[in-house]
Amino acid sequence: VEDGDDFVINGEKWFSSNARFASFLIVMAVTDPDASAHGRASMIVVPTDTPGVEIVRNVGVGDEPPGHGTHAYVRYTNARVPKTNLLGPRGQGFAVAQTRLGGGRVHHAMRTVGQIKRAFDMMCERALSRTTKGEILADKQLVQEKIADSWIEMESFRLMVLRTAWRIDQYNDYLKVRKDIAAIKAMMPKVYHDVVSRCIQVHGALGISNELPLSGMLLGSFVMGIADGPTEVHKVTIARQVLRDYESTEALFPAYTLPNRRAAALNLLGDQIEREVEAW
């Protein structure tokens, strides 16, 4: 709410990454409740030493010890900051967030390419080094399948990330590359998960031990399916963007059925076909 030249913030935020180390927080808060859905919120810079800002607890992921995580549960109780702390125009918090999220999702994907390559390299080295029943793992067809599938997925994902980055450079507008960004974000956790899972399997007991980073990487693949928007949301975005390039038909049968295609061909080329038949 507004109070003179200040905003007074009340609310809670779960999973504020790195809040425990920060000197200020960026809070997306409703400043204009009567505005449109995308125009109600603003971004506000809130110093962490502001009275009323409380880190309830620090949350970790996986098997991190309780209280030692880097994702804070933050509570704001009458936290007062000046209106000059607005980050960007008032009511444009959603637009500001989307601008950051576009680049952030590409950044996640780029880092994940490196993680996938790391797991792939480990798997290949292990396959060539480990011997069982008189032959190396690399000679086993099921291991070869794991390596082949992983390389195909890894390279497909890597090239899709590069293409998305190239398109961002071409358009200089994240909205025009929204479908591509959503695609690499949806693709990322699956490829990451699949390659790391195969790598663990090739390593056997060593793969799930705490002497390799693979179990943490496997958990990281699930994190990538949630951070900056869950996979399901991005798939909806992709489908909606793709379908904009198509139109519905009111015909009982689609134009691409064989009878309709034949009729269309005869309508276009019927006279020519008839002349050719007569000449023959």
With 80 as the cut, is the pLDDT of residue 275 above it?
yes
- At 77 the pLDDT is 98
DSSP 249: -
pTM of the predicted model as reported, rounded to 2 decimal places: 0.87
Q: Provide the pairing of β-strand 24-30 with 41-47.
A: antiparallel
- At 277 the pLDDT is 83
Counting every residue, how long is the chain? 280
**What residues contact 130, with CB distance under 8 A and at least 6 apart?**
136, 137, 202
> Residue 32 in 3-state DSSP?
coil
Residue 87 is which amino acid?
Answer: L
DSSP string over 41-65: EEEEEEETTSTTEEEEEEE--TTPP
- Residue 148: pLDDT band (50, 70, 90) is very high
pLDDT tens-digit series, residues 17-28:
999 999 999 999
DSSP string over 69-124: -SEEEEEEEEEEEEGGGB-SSTT-HHHHHHHHHHHHHHHHHHHHHHHHHHHHHHHH
- At 64 the pLDDT is 82
Structure-derived torsion over alpha carbons of residues 19, 23, 28, 33, reported in degrees to the nearest 10:
130
Give the domains, in start order, of the chain with CATH numbers.
2-85 (2.40.110.10), 93-243 (1.20.140.10)
- Residue 66: pLDDT band (50, 70, 90) is confident
Phi/psi at 266 (5° precision): -65, -35
Instruction: Identify the sign of the CA torsion 8, 13, 18, 21.
Output: positive
Give buried/exposed letters for 103-128 (b at 16+ CB in 10 A, else e). Answer: ebbbebbbebbebbebbbebbbebbe
With 90 as the cut, is the pLDDT of residue 110 above it?
yes
